[in-house]
């Protein structure tokens, strides 16, 4: 095969091969959950579809759909929660399979790998031969399907992988021109606003946007617009920086004791990431290709490069380090390193001038001195007690006062998993109990004759509550009550009938009554527990 030599103008990006596993979050979730790949499945975050497979899409499941709507369109849909760590962990086997054939593998995000194509294509005797070997190798080693595209630059190659195309050298602009403008809004690029504006201006395709003169784009859309314009024209994101990053920016950290657990690695990664990015920012640089290298106690060397279209923020670096540790430490036995990691090296393999990153930091509200001081204190306590020692509460959707609260370890992203403003039938009206026992206490509710009472099949109390004894203690008289609030829950899942009850208990002779929240499960032998105290 004769390949015309690519134009060596500095403007054109290097020719890249992108290997894309479609619907990767669903593939990974199905593999972990033991669901067949062909069965309809979708991954949800905050009750909305974030990814679905072909089976689900055939049944009308779309991105952004609510779970209830998706399930009504496709009743046998397998529902999974989004989990970045799981995606990254399973993708490690794909990255390893690609690395077996080609050097210089860069993981863009779980589901997408990029490799420079020139050397490997020459070695394997042409791009087509290389791609054939790659697809075979990935499906044999990792057992997943993938699509491959080749083009100049990461952006064009990613789009080429979507359609499984080989873009002839020098014809990137022609390939990109008919594609819709919405393709500019790739995950992680954060260009939704720009794309929406361009669409409303009547620029529906990348070609129409590329046809605008660059000077006008600068005037109207600023630096971010120029970047998108360069992509639409098939140029590299930014002119490559000629000098290589100074070696002292590489951050090496020794661990004692060795790191064997992902949560410990994730915690350490946060501190390392902020130091790494601060050192880069000191040189006015930001990193777009991050090399993560580790040495284990037994002397094994592990390494992987992560590529990012946008300069990496400290949070982005920390995420990638955490994902990489998930991939290494929780791989299948046999591929896992035999001992813990003693040394970690973060290497900025490709850097860009960091102006755009500084702008980003500025836009993020600029961490005030107080916030920084508090964050330092929390991290110090995490150092004393472990990463789970300091948590921040997050109010989620839910029925019970304890289930509405999710505790997120300090530093982890606070994302609600369900919309907190949705209606929850059976949720107790405000006020909520000020004390929610972390371990509910068993109790017994009896009627005037001393017989235990429960919930009838019609969600009524079988008798009027008269007294309550907590863990077999003395009986306390009930002076007021309200409820029961039945917990309907999932109709398809049968279980004991459950309900909640508010009771007002007589206190000591001079004291006012005390209010408690009780939970009841079962009709025949009701199991009562005290869940909360209104104190």
Partner 1 sequence: MTAVVEPPVARLAALPGVSTASRVAVQAERARVTGRVLPVAPALAGLLPAAGLRRGSTVAVHGGTSLLLALLAEATATGSWAAVVGMPSLGLAAAAEYGVDLRRVALVPRPGAELPAVAAALLDGVDLVAIHSETVQAAVARRLSARARHRGAVLLTFGAWPGADVELSCRFSAWAGLEDGYGHLREREVTVRARGRGAAARPMTASVALPGPGGSLAPSSAPVAVPLRDEATA
- Site residues (CB under 8 A) for partner 1? 370-371, 373-378, 380-381, 384-385, 389-395, 401, 404-405, 407, 410, 414, 428-438, 461, 464, 480-483, 502, 504, 511-513, 515, 532, 534-535
Q: How far is the CB of 189 from partner 1 (least distance, A)?
A: 27
Q: How far is the CB of 446 from partner 1 (least distance, A)?
A: 16
Q: How many CB atoms lie within 10 A of CB 16?
A: 24
Identity of the residue, 490 or 535, whose beta carbon is nearer to partner 1 in the bound complex: 535
Q: How far is the CB of 496 from partner 1 (least distance, A)?
A: 22
Cα 275 from chain centroid (whole Å): 23
Checking DSSP bridges between strand 405-409 and strand 301-307, what pairing results, if any?
Answer: unpaired
- Residue 293 to residue 454: CA distance in whole angstroms: 61
Q: How far is the CB of 385 from partner 1 (least distance, A)?
A: 6
Q: How far is the CB of 403 from partner 1 (least distance, A)?
A: 9
Identity of the residue, 490 or 511, whose beta carbon is nearer to partner 1 in the bound complex: 511
Identity of the residue, 38 or 392, whose beta carbon is nearer to partner 1 in the bound complex: 392
Q: How far is the CB of 411 from partner 1 (least distance, A)?
A: 10
Identity of the residue, 241 or 374, whose beta carbon is nearer to partner 1 in the bound complex: 374
Identity of the residue, 233 or 500, whose beta carbon is nearer to partner 1 in the bound complex: 500
Sign of CA dihedral 209, 215, 217, 223: positive
- Residue 172 to residue 446: CA distance in whole angstroms: 79
Identity of the residue, 80 or 410, whose beta carbon is nearer to partner 1 in the bound complex: 410
Query: Whole-angstrom distance between the N-terminal and C-terminal Cα of the chain?
Result: 80
With beta carbons less than 8 A apart as the criterion, state whether 483 and 455 touch. no
Identity of the residue, 39 or 407, whose beta carbon is nearer to partner 1 in the bound complex: 407
Residue 521 burial (C-beta neighbours within 10 Å; 0-12, 13-18, 19+): middle
With beta carbons less than 8 A apart as the criterion, state whether 200 and 181 touch. no
Q: How far is the CB of 448 from partner 1 (least distance, A)?
A: 14
Contacts of 54 (CB under 8 A, 6+ apart): 23
Peptide bond connecting 431 to the previous residue in cis, omega within 30 degrees of 0: yes
- Residue 15 to residue 160: CA distance in whole angstroms: 12
Identity of the residue, 41 or 461, whose beta carbon is nearer to partner 1 in the bound complex: 461
Q: Which residues of 117-131 are buried (b: 16+ CB within 10 A; e: fewer)?
A: beebbeebeebeebb
Phi first, then psi, for residue 505 (nearest 5°) are -105, 140
Q: How many CA atoms lie within 13 A of 47 on its CB side?
A: 12
Identity of the residue, 55 or 433, whose beta carbon is nearer to partner 1 in the bound complex: 433
With beta carbons less than 8 A apart as the criterion, state whether 340 and 289 touch. no
User: CA 111, 116, 118, 122: dihedral to nearest 10 degrees?
Assistant: -60
Residue 382 burial (C-beta neighbours within 10 Å; 0-12, 13-18, 19+): buried
- Residue 491 to residue 500: CA distance in whole angstroms: 18
Q: What angle do CA 44, 85, 304 make, to 5 degrees?
A: 135
Q: Which position has the token pair 């601060």?
A: 278
Q: How far is the CB of 512 from partner 1 (least distance, A)?
A: 5
Q: How far is the CB of 523 from partner 1 (least distance, A)?
A: 18
Identity of the residue, 7 or 376, whose beta carbon is nearer to partner 1 in the bound complex: 376
Identity of the residue, 331 or 394, whose beta carbon is nearer to partner 1 in the bound complex: 394
Q: How far is the CB of 263 from partner 1 (least distance, A)?
A: 17
Q: How far is the CB of 482 from partner 1 (least distance, A)?
A: 5
């Amino acid at each position: 095969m004769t390949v015309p030599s690519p134009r060596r103008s500095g403007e054109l990006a290097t020719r890249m091969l992108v290997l894309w596993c479609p619907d990767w979050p669903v593939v990974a979730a199905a593999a972990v959950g033991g669901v067949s790949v062909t069965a309809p499945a979708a991954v949800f975050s905050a009750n909305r579809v974030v990814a679905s497979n072909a089976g689900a899409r055939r049944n009308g499941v779309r991105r952004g759909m609510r779970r209830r709507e998706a399930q009504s369109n496709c009743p046998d849909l397998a529902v999974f929660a989004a989990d970045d760590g799981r995606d990254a962990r399973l993708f490690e086997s794909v990255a390893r399979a690609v690395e077996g054939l080609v050097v210089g593998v860069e993981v863009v995000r779980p589901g997408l790998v990029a490799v420079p194509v020139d050397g490997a294509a020459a070695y394997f005797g042409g791009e087509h031969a290389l791609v054939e070997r790659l697809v075979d190798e990935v499906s044999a080693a990792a057992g997943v399907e993938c699509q491959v595209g080749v083009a100049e630059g990461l952006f064009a190659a990613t789009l080429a992988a979507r359609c499984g195309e080989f873009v002839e050298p020098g014809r990137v602009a022609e390939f990109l021109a008919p594609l819709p403008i919405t393709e500019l809004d790739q995950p992680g690029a954060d260009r939704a606003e720009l794309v929406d504006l361009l669409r409303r201006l009547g620029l529906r395709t990348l070609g129409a946007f590329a046809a605008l003169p660059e000077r006008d784009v600068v005037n109207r859309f600023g630096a971010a617009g120029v970047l998108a314009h360069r992509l639409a024209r098939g140029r590299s994101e930014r002119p490559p920086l000629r000098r290589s990053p100074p070696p002292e920016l590489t951050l090496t950290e020794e661990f004692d004791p060795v790191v064997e657990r992902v949560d410990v690695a994730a915690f350490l990664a946060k501190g390392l990431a902020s130091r790494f990015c601060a050192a880069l920012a000191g040189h006015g640089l930001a990193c777009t290709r991050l090399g993560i290298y580790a040495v284990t106690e037994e002397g094994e060397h592990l390494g992987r490069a992560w590529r990012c279209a946008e300069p990496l923020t400290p949070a982005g670096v920390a995420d990638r380090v955490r994902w990489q540790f998930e991939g290494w430490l929780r791989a299948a036995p046999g591929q896992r390193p035999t001992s813990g990691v003693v040394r970690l090296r973060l290497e900025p393999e490709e850097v860009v001038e960091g102006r755009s990153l500084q702008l980003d930091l500025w836009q993020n509200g600029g961490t005030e001195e107080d916030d920084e001081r508090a964050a330092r204190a929390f991290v110090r306590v995490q150092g004393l007690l472990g990463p789970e020692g300091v948590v921040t509460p997050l109010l989620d959707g839910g029925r019970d006062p304890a289930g509405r609260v999710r505790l997120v370890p300090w530093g982890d992203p606070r994302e609600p998993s369900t919309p907190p403003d949705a209606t929850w039938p059976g949720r107790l009206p405000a006020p909520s109990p000020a004390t929610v026992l972390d371990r509910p206490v068993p109790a017994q509710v009896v009627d005037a004759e001393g017989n235990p009472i429960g919930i009838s099949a019609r969600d009524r109390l079988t008798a009027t509550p008269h007294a309550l004894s907590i863990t077999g203690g003395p009986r306390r008289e009930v002076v007021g009550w309200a409820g029961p609030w039945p917990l309907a829950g999932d109709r398809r899942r049968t279980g004991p009938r459950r309900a909640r009850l508010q009771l007002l208990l007589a206190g000591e002779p001079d004291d006012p009554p005390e209010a408690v929240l009780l939970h009841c499960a079962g009709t025949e032998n009701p199991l009562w527990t005290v869940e909360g105290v209104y104190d």
